[in-house]
Copies of this chain bind each other. A is one copy, B any other.
């Protein structure tokens, strides 16, 4: 007996990740009852983003241009290509101010259980990008989760087969970290990968 436009809004909200029937209902009531301006703004922002956003031809991140401003910037070092999973990871790398090369954003990671294999991740686009003749080193900065590690291994194999130099962010104790509060897996890794001083 509830109005069909309300039912449809609740159903449509379920496309959001982590939103089940109860949250969707709560969200719909909240928007309609307490924040109609926010809801109108969200609908507009979503429609606009769907219209104008595409993937940068070079780095694959979301962009409004064919080639994003970062890839088009001649000040960046085109000999280094850093591979990250998501735009948020790229943003973290940039915040370090320790890297001036270019990026490739996978927009995901290998995840066989979710049906994401090399084909779904479009690794051929990355290989083509890395084989442009300018890139001399590919730095793998996928997450250090199981899936991120598997993704890095797969990419390393594919790129090494094409004669490209591949590196990976180092693992170890975080800066400022105390051994007492660091997990043993990380300490063990830091021991194996210890560096001469």
Chain A 35-66 near chain B by CB (<8 Å), digits 1 or 0 = 11011111111111110110000000111100
The answer to the question of A88 belonging to the interface, with a C-beta cut-off of 8 Å to chain B, is yes
A23's nearest neighbour on chain B, judged by CB, is: B18
Copies in the complex: 2
The answer to the question of A27 belonging to the interface, with a C-beta cut-off of 8 Å to chain B, is yes
Chain B proximity of A149: nearest CB distance (Å): 21
A13 to B39, CA, bound (A): 9
A94's nearest neighbour on chain B, judged by CB, is: B1
The answer to the question of A29 belonging to the interface, with a C-beta cut-off of 8 Å to chain B, is yes
A53 to B36, CA, bound (A): 11
List the B side residues contacting A159 at CB < 8 Å: none
The answer to the question of A31 belonging to the interface, with a C-beta cut-off of 8 Å to chain B, is yes
The answer to the question of A25 belonging to the interface, with a C-beta cut-off of 8 Å to chain B, is yes
> Which A residues from 1 to 46 make CB contacts under 8 A with B?
1-6, 8-9, 11-13, 15-18, 23, 25-33, 35-36, 38-46
Residues of chain A touching chain B, judged by Cβ–Cβ distance below 8 Å, are 1-6, 8-9, 11-13, 15-18, 23, 25-33, 35-36, 38-50, 52-53, 61-64, 68-70, 86-88, 91, 94, 107-108
